[in-house]
Structure 1
């Protein structure tokens, strides 16, 4: 799957791609926002950090479960319209979380936020794929990822700082206001935008789209791969602050900065993908990326200081998006007419991994300890990179002939 990629100065994308990146940024602000402040959430509600980490698992679970419905709704009724409505719902859910008087109510608000966020990022990827030809798609998706990574970076960093000053409720209140503002901005920005594949209300075509997706052999490898990614990488995040607490570093700002290192690595990927892709090819990107992730997980297992952990997280983010970006392109080519459905299924498996991940890490930490748990995750990521390189092949979508 070697692609000839133009230099960054030669890339020309529709203006709507920048609007899509804004939507991804807005939704991503809340994705990791509570991770740095979980120790204070646990303290306020008199629960364990493992129980508090259930917020991340619950958010990821509902995000995953909603994906098949979200993808179908986007293909049927319009991606841009659905994305705008979900941004508004995300803002409302965050405001409700700020007002929660018990952990179950906070948990419920994060479930609602997961539903809303589930209608933004995967749909944004589908819109990007609609607007950009396959030979430029990985770089265009990189721009969409840049918006998401910037949101993750600002969300994790700012939430730690805000949490130190006005607490986790202040974090959610600010996120709620920003979500509502973003929904209005994106709605205005998409007014008059031209999208190649218009929505259809033909349910028969929708069923055909599912058949097309699963007929493609790549679906058998692409979806399980992102499940493993989500489990091994993002399952770690809810425990980073508690690992730092164990080292004597109790500042929420420091925890936010460490977690934000991952997003910095993701941004570095978006700036370098057009240079590394022609040199390494897709197979090389997947192997190199997964190996980088594995090495950083192994390094974190031995509890380095927080400054070194920032470097590890940066390299982990860079490596993760090397392999994940390739898997996203494979997913976008499973079908043309049901592309939003394919990308939502991709997110379903990815976030199911993020649901299982905190549970698996929690079990491993309790019964095996920190080092064995992280070293097992490291080995799984390295194996995953080589497996993806060996099993995934460039194949045209089965419905390519009917849409050409």
Structure 2
């Protein structure tokens, strides 16, 4: 990866870091918002929904828009609007207008992941692409790992409005860097592309369909585990948000380290083995947390392995998806982001029911076993050649 390539990855990673940190920022400050605006906490929870719904929906819209009108044009405009919307949240004076501002933030935040990944697909040859994607995703998910600690710390020293104000200031940095490096970014446009037509083609072939299915399962079981990591730490150790955030940072740190390693490992071992290694690491992480989570060192090891498993798995699947539709790469990446984030939402919702029925500890056991099943499915579905439905039937008959 050359110097200019590293600079672009850092730029896009910084944008991803801010957006992923913003994803989770409301959770630790929700009690402060409800108290300040004299709201019941259940009503204040609307702010999380107001963000997540447009964030999920617009994942599948921004990619095709970027293919049609230009990736750098769309992501630059979206980052400008994301910065403004985040700043407006600091001025919210009622549940209604604050929910509107959070919804706008979610709309424009949805652009960063799919378009950044499509840009990386355009800029890096296939032999360098997994390392570039892994580094970008690692930096981005470091933001998610740190989000609770950052939000809680700012709210502690300032107030909840200060959290949004500082996030808006931080968002200015990648926005200005995008404008500064605007000419060096690729500017492919495909004005003839229909907005939703590429999705029918992407879902119409077994190679891409099976890849998206594994991405969905990855989101359900890896993000589903990550989502309740903080709750597990609070229940087991009684730590505050700052300490919880610091421990959860192990996920982000290993994502960054694993992202730098994934491309080199794929070149030596093959992408298929890196995918398997990722799913094995994530499954081991959940089992370690289930068995030894009450030992702090083992808990941190489990969270770190979850981050490593995530980045090996996700960077491999993303690299694979960049080859599905070169003239509609934005749409291909949008569908990955939609499956992954949608899977994370499903996994979080299912996790809540599992916790209510079987307890928090058992969630990690169930997700760990589910990741083992996902690994076995990946052996059947993720192959170097296209696997047609009749081949699947034959494989099942031979089991």
Alignment of 1:240 with 2:229, yes or no, is yes
State the alpha-carbon separation in 2 of the partners of residues 365 and 39 from structure 1.
Answer: 22
SS at structure 2 position matched to 1:30: helix
Q: Name 2:359's counterpart in structure 1.
A: 369
Cα deviation code 1:263-305 (max 9, x no counterpart): 1110111222244224432222122211211222233335425
Q: Name 2:41's counterpart in structure 1.
A: 47
Does structure 2 conserve the Cα–Cα contact (< 8 Å) formed by 1:35 and 1:238?
Answer: no
Alignment of 1:121 with 2:113, yes or no, is yes
Q: Name 2:184's counterpart in structure 1.
A: 193
Cα deviation code 1:313-371 (max 9, x no counterpart): 11110011111111101111111100111100111111111222222111221222213
Q: Name 1:26's counterpart in structure 2.
A: 18
Alignment of 1:251 with 2:240, yes or no, is yes
State the alpha-carbon separation in 1 of the partners of residues 32 and 264 from structure 2.
Answer: 42
State the alpha-carbon separation in 1 of the partners of residues 228 and 44 from structure 2.
Answer: 10
Q: Name 1:182's counterpart in structure 2.
A: 174
CA-atom RMSD in angstroms: 3.0
State the alpha-carbon separation in 2 of the partners of residues 216 and 132 from structure 1.
Answer: 25
| Worse overlay, 246-255 or 346-355 | 246-255
| Worse overlay, 175-184 or 344-353 | 175-184
| Worse overlay, 100-109 or 232-241 | 100-109
| Worse overlay, 212-221 or 309-318 | 212-221
| Deviation of the 1:255 alpha carbon | 1.5
Alignment of 1:343 with 2:333, yes or no, is yes
| Deviation of the 1:236 alpha carbon | 3.9
Match of 1:276 among 265, 280, 283: 265
Normalising by structure 2, we get a TM-score of: 0.84
* Within-5 A mapping of 1:5-404: 13=5, 16-37=8-29, 45-47=39-41, 59-101=51-93, 106-190=98-182, 192-195=183-186, 198-203=188-193, 209-301=198-290, 303-394=293-384
The answer for unaligned runs of 5 or more in structure 2 is: 387-399
| Deviation of the 1:136 alpha carbon | 1.7
| Deviation of the 1:52 alpha carbon | 7.2
Does structure 1 conserve the Cα–Cα contact (< 8 Å) formed by 2:202 and 2:208?
Answer: yes
| Deviation of the 1:22 alpha carbon | 3.4
Does structure 1 conserve the Cα–Cα contact (< 8 Å) formed by 2:55 and 2:106?
Answer: yes
Q: Which of structures 1 and 2 has the larger relative contact order (alpha carbons within 8 angstroms, sep 6+)?
A: 1
The answer for unaligned runs of 5 or more in structure 1 is: 1-7, 397-404
| Worse overlay, 321-330 or 369-378 | 369-378
Q: Cα 1:247–1:371, aligned 2, differ >3 Å: closer, same or farther?
A: closer
| Deviation of the 1:87 alpha carbon | 1.5
Cα deviation code 1:147-206 (max 9, x no counterpart): 31343344344223323333443322211222234322212221x2252x61122145x5
Q: Cα 1:235–1:89, aligned 2, differ >3 Å: closer, same or farther?
A: farther
Cα deviation code 1:23-59 (max 9, x no counterpart): 32332332333455556667775426xx877765664
Q: Cα 1:163–1:147, aligned 2, differ >3 Å: closer, same or farther?
A: same
State the alpha-carbon separation in 2 of the partners of residues 150 and 373 from structure 1.
Answer: 23
State the alpha-carbon separation in 1 of the partners of residues 139 and 191 from structure 2.
Answer: 30
Normalising by structure 1, we get a TM-score of: 0.83
Does structure 2 conserve the Cα–Cα contact (< 8 Å) formed by 1:218 and 1:330?
Answer: no
State the alpha-carbon separation in 1 of the partners of residues 371 and 35 from structure 2.
Answer: 34
State the alpha-carbon separation in 1 of the partners of residues 45 and 247 from structure 2.
Answer: 17
Does structure 1 conserve the Cα–Cα contact (< 8 Å) formed by 2:216 and 2:342?
Answer: yes
